[in-house]
Amino acid sequence: MVAKTPVVKNQELEVEIEDLTYQGMGVAKIDGYPLFIEDTLPGEKALVHVLKTEKQYGFAKLKKLEQTSPDRVLAVDHTYTQTGIAPLQHLAYPAQLKFKQHQIQELFKKQGLHIPVRPTLGMDNPTGYRNKAQIPVRQINGQATTGFFKRRSHELVPLEDFYIQDPKIDAAVIVVRDLLRKYHLTGYDEQANSGLVRHIMVRRGYYSKDMMIVLVVTSWAVPHQDDIVAGIQAALPEVSSIMLNLNDKRTNVILGKKTRLLAGHSYLTDQLLGNTFHISPLSFYQVNPLQTEVLYSQAIEAAGLTGKETVIDAYSGIGTISLAMAKHAKQVYGVEIVPEAVGDARDNAKLNGITNVTFTVGKAEDAMQQWQQEELPVDVLMVDPPRKGLAKEFIAAVGVLLPPKLVYVSCNPATLARDIKALEAFGYHAAQTQPVDMFPQTTSIESVTALTR
Ligand code: SAH
């Protein structure tokens, strides 16, 4: 027997929005049954149309707002809410910052953690901040077209202004798209797994102003390759690197493993906190340069370095945090899984004349066990893991190494809360968590937490 839900598909009803999910959807409750509604905000009353009902919750579509929230930003372009680009743009920026603080508080509460969460550090100008774009290319009306996918779909919405990206990057994407059109290069077709160009990736150095352009293609055989390179160089003299990346698999992963240089350098150059960095196309690099400096400064302060400490920087990427900390520590050990990123990190240490850092290629959880066996006297353990958080083995190794201080930079408060809970069992305690808004207009939440024993 199918359990009855208080609403049924295609029903229209008036609801009051009570909450906002971590994905930025409004929540209304009908006899305790949650309905999720895109583009609605707490405090609003709305006429909605039920799209789908599951046992525990349902989805509805906004038909008409009967009462709007004072936090609603009017005159927004709905494309940005429909696509994943800016799902929070209809919420005023100060309310976005509160939303992020609140999300962390709720997740801590669920884990039974009593850690105060500071107000989120935001940006003065929370648009046009992204230094990196990975723009899908599809064949529409017989020509290569750039844009962004509708949320939860593979339907491309053609776009030229990406709103949260550096406008110079938007302009570069148009230049490349027009060259693809001029020379009749085709956009990718997911269904048929045909077509040549899957994505245009652009990175721009905030301080260096250099640009890197990577065409992600399904084959190395790119017609008019030289004309396209010449066209890019003529229109965009600031481009210091043009590359091809091969991705011939049926996959949602954007970049393949192989890259070829077409012109310029095989890396982009940029600066952060006074250090210079080379960044390869396959290496991770934070996308919001101004806020990255805020984030790292918070992490360095939380580490409380005096120049005498031995520091582990786990998940070290191209060494951005390691090198920033090396200036204030005795010795820094970095570990990172992507070999290209470790190559960058070693070059970057040399480039900046920093000699008290060592980088290892590998899994952080394996390196931790190695350091544990070597009885490395660690004073500060810095971690900056991907969304899935720390591996069980990693946490177990922390329990043996027992560094007096652990600084946790997190891009996912759910795994942060889970990991802090596990670390509390080893006697760790956090005095506070500091959110830093790295992704304005979106629901992503970054934070720094210092834990001590
Ligand atoms: N601290 C760096 C990178 C943070 S992003 C910065 O701020 O720029 C997280 C990094 O962890 C990525 O570079 C990713 O490649 C790496 N990574 C993912 N899983 C890992 C693992 N199990 N062990 C080590 N590094 C890992």
Q: Cβ contacts of residue 301 below 8 Å, gap of 6+? A: none
Average confidence score pLDDT of the chain:
96
In the predicted structure, residue 329 carries a pLDDT above the cut 80: yes
Indicate the range of 148-152, 317-321, 400-404, 410-414 predicted with least confidence.
Answer: 148-152
Of the residues 284, 291, 387, 395, which should be mutated to test ligand 1's pocket, given the most ligand atoms within 8 Å of the CB?
284
In the predicted structure, residue 1 carries a pLDDT above the cut 70: no
Phi/psi of residue 229, each to 5°? Answer: -60, -45
Phi/psi of residue 249, each to 5°? Answer: -95, 155
> Hey, what are 300's tokens?
């360095």
What is the per-residue DSSP string for 381-396? EEE---TT---HHHHH
Residue 3 is given by DSSP the state P
Which residue(s) pair with 158 in the sheet?
147
- The closest residue, in CA terms, to atom 11 on ligand 1 is 315
Q: Give ligand 1 pocket residues (Cβ under 6 A).
A: 284-286, 315-317, 320-321, 335-338, 341, 363-364, 384, 386
- The closest residue, in CA terms, to atom 16 on ligand 1 is 315
Give the distance between the most distant pair of CA atoms in the chain.
70
- To the nearest whole percent, how much of the chain has pLDDT over 90? 93
- For 381-401, what is the mean pLDDT? 97
Residue 130 is given by DSSP the state B
In terms of Cα–Cα distance, which of 22, 18, 20, 25 is closest to 60?
A: 25
In the predicted structure, residue 11 carries a pLDDT above the cut 90: yes
In the predicted structure, residue 344 carries a pLDDT above the cut 80: yes
Do 12-72 and 132-272 have matching folds?
Answer: yes
E strand residue ranges, 54-195: 58-67, 132-140, 143-149, 156-158
Please give the number of the atom of ligand 1 that sits closest to the Cα of 313.
1
Are the C-beta atoms of residues 244 and 222 closer than 8 Å to each other? yes
Of the residues 315, 363, 407, 447, which should be mutated to test ligand 1's pocket, given the most ligand atoms within 8 Å of the CB?
315
Indicate the range of 79-88, 115-124, 147-156, 401-410 predicted with least confidence.
Answer: 79-88
* Confidence (pLDDT) at 347: 97
- The closest residue, in CA terms, to atom 22 on ligand 1 is 363
> pLDDT tens digits, residue range 439-452?
999 999 999 999 99
- The closest residue, in CA terms, to atom 21 on ligand 1 is 363
- The closest residue, in CA terms, to atom 1 on ligand 1 is 316
CA atoms within 13 A on the CB side of 297: 11
Can you count the helices (H) and strands (E) in the chain? 10, 21
> pLDDT tens digits, residue range 147-168?
999 888 889 999 999 999 999 9
What is the per-residue DSSP string for 172-231? HHHHHHHHHHHTTPPBBBTTTTB-SEEEEEEEE-TTT--EEEEEEES-S--TTHHHHHHH
Domain ranges of the chain: 12-72, 110-122+288-452, 132-272
Place of tokens 């969460």: 117
- For 174-196, what is the mean pLDDT? 96
* Confidence (pLDDT) at 2: 58
Q: pLDDT-based confidence at 80, cuts 50/70/90?
A: confident
Q: Which residue numbers are catalytic?
A: 411
CA 408/CA 243 separation, integer angstroms: 34
* Confidence (pLDDT) at 75: 73
Q: pLDDT-based confidence at 141, cuts 50/70/90?
A: very high
- For 43-63, what is the mean pLDDT? 96
In the predicted structure, residue 3 carries a pLDDT above the cut 80: no
> CATH top-level class for 132-272?
mainly beta
In the predicted structure, residue 288 carries a pLDDT above the cut 80: yes
What SS3 state is found at 338?
A: coil
pTM: 0.94
Range 12-72 has CATH code 3.40.1390.10? no
Superfamily in which the 110-122+288-452 domain is placed by CATH = Vaccinia Virus protein VP39 (3.40.50.150)
- For 363-371, what is the mean pLDDT? 96
Question: Distance, CA 241 to ligand 1 centroid (Å)?
Answer: 24
- 123-140 b/e with 16+ CB inside 10 Å = b? beebbbbbbbbebbbbbe
Q: pLDDT-based confidence at 419, cuts 50/70/90?
A: very high
- For 333-346, what is the mean pLDDT? 97
* Confidence (pLDDT) at 168: 98
Q: pLDDT-based confidence at 429, cuts 50/70/90?
A: very high
Q: pLDDT-based confidence at 100, cuts 50/70/90?
A: very high
Are the C-beta atoms of residues 156 and 147 closer than 8 Å to each other? yes
> pLDDT tens digits, residue range 119-134?
999 999 999 999 999 9
| Residue type at 45 in one-letter notation | K
Question: Distance, CA 80 to ligand 1 centroid (Å)?
Answer: 29
Question: Distance, CA 363 to ligand 1 centroid (Å)?
Answer: 9
Residue 75 is given by DSSP the state S
- For 296-316, what is the mean pLDDT? 97
- The closest residue, in CA terms, to atom 10 on ligand 1 is 315
Question: Distance, CA 378 to ligand 1 centroid (Å)?
Answer: 20
Question: Distance, CA 359 to ligand 1 centroid (Å)?
Answer: 13
Question: Distance, CA 409 to ligand 1 centroid (Å)?
Answer: 11
Are the C-beta atoms of residues 384 and 390 closer than 8 Å to each other? no
Are the C-beta atoms of residues 321 and 299 closer than 8 Å to each other? yes
In the predicted structure, residue 207 carries a pLDDT above the cut 90: yes
